[in-house]
Amino acid sequence: MKKKDICIDFDGVLNNYKGWAGEENIAEIKTGCPEFLMQLSEIYNIHIFTVRNVSFVEEWLNKYKISKYIKSVTNKKIPAVLYIDDRALTFNGNYENLMEEIRNFKPYWQ
């Protein structure tokens, strides 16, 4: 059976991101990240999306020996069955509810 694609945001999902500190200053890996990616990679092709320089992210993935679970690193939105992001809201078809969620939104680390 062919694996489906899933996209995971880099900062704040895979690392302990607490806000921008520069292009090359990437936070340490989040506890549980390697195990999560290992399990997920058994079911999905994992694509990491980021606004960072892709080569810096690839170096970080190699540093923590988790690149083997990743199909690609990209700064483009690719077709996927699911996107995981620490700064996202799910649109449920109701703009009024969405506006309220936008007004009250804070990433988990704030």
CATH number where 47 lies = 3.40.50.1000
Is 86 a domain residue?
yes
User: Count of domains in the chain?
Assistant: 1
Domain around 65: 4-104
Position of tokens 């988790």?
A: 66
Is 27 a domain residue?
yes
Is 110 a domain residue?
no
> Going residue by residue through the chain (110 aa), what tens digit of pLDDT does each one get?
799 999 999 999 999 998 888 888 899 999 999 999 999 999 999 999 999 999 999 999 999 999 999 999 999 989 999 999 999 999 999 999 999 999 999 988 88
Is 87 a domain residue?
yes
